[in-house]
Amino acid sequence: MVTIKSKREIELMREACRVVAVVYDELEKHIKPGITTLELDQIAEKTMRNLGALPAEKGYDPGIKGVPKFPASICVSINDEVIHGIPSKYRTLKEGDIVSIDTVALKDGFNGDAARTFIVGKTNKEILEKNEGLAIGNNVDKNVYLTFDEGYEAGYTSQILATLKENNVKATFFITAHYLNTQPELVKQMIDEGHIVGNHTVNHKSMPSLTESQINSEVMDLHKAMYEKFQYEMKYIRPPMGEYSEKTLAVTNSLGYKTVMWSFAYADWNEKDQPDKEQAKKKILDNVHNGEIMLLHGNSKTNTEILGDIIKEIKNMGYEFKSLDEFKS
């Protein structure tokens, strides 16, 4: 049976929800690197009580033998934790953490219940922009920036280059030292045909795990080798696996590099588990957007076979393929 609430009851419900909104506004001011989840819990409870409400989650009894009552005013889950994390003085927030908080405020017989997710510290967008990184172009111009990651050669890059030439499209190829050393002819062809060759580091290691000196070596050893072979100055870098930190961005920026991330990618890199061609086409075309930096992997048989169709379809949708040198933020 559905009970119709009176205007007075609806106002009381709205007030309970307003309390929760105020709690989240207050928590947002304090969610910074270094604070513990227990401190956040204390802030939430104090805010509720100051507004004449009670933390409904505190003392909640699940009714399961051996499971204690919930000890806190909020549930707080960090990163890959799903739900109902318990606040603790031992859980300290770090830069880049993603924190999900769920809480319930009881006031005048009604519960206000909501959950919010927060990023700790600066957002990826802010960190990238501070260090002149690229992830997506402006949302006005119908431009697409096509990029390929090339860790090793699987036998498809010649066909990819032929397709790009046939369709008059310039792309950016991010290569490793292994690729440069084993495929110098293909790298030369990329340069000769007007494509950009970017830095994907020497050994494809996770850059946040490296020291500043190691980052320098991973980037500049490849940079120097590329210049020695082709008198080509690299200026764009894609961090291996897309992993970076404010420190790594600052280091690569100081070396004269712009970091290039992406606004579209999909699971195309596993040679033994290639996506279905029609499904891949649909995924790529359904996600085309203004300013898109598209990441494809050069070791993908599927990408190689559908590339020509994809380029034609995207052009038919009114988009232009642009070089990163023409990037508009």
pLDDT tens digits, residue range 138-174? 889 999 999 999 999 999 999 999 999 999 999 999 9
Neighbours of 83 (CB within 10 A): 9
| pTM of the complete model beyond 0.85 | no
The predicted structure's pLDDT at residue 280: 95
Lookup: tokens for 223:
């940079």
pLDDT digits (tens, 9 = 90+) for 6-45: 999 999 999 999 999 999 999 999 999 899 999 999 999 9
Name the one residue in this structure whose structure tokens are 């509720």: 48
Q: Give the span between the Cα atoms of 224 and 254, in whole angstroms.
A: 16
CA 299 to chain centroid: 22
CATH topology of domain 124-326: TIM Barrel (3.20.20)
Q: Where are the domains of the chain?
A: 7-119, 124-326
Mean of per-residue pLDDT scores for the chain = 94
41, 102, 149, 268: which one is catalytic?
149
Q: Give the span between the Cα atoms of 44 and 189, in whole angstroms.
A: 61
Residue 149 annotated to the active site:
yes
Span 7-119: which CATH code? 3.90.230.10
200, 204, 223, 297: which one is catalytic?
297
The predicted structure's pLDDT at residue 25: 94
∠ CA 244-169-230, rounded to 5°: 65
Is the pLDDT reported for residue 203 higher than 80? yes
Average pLDDT over residues 42-53: 97
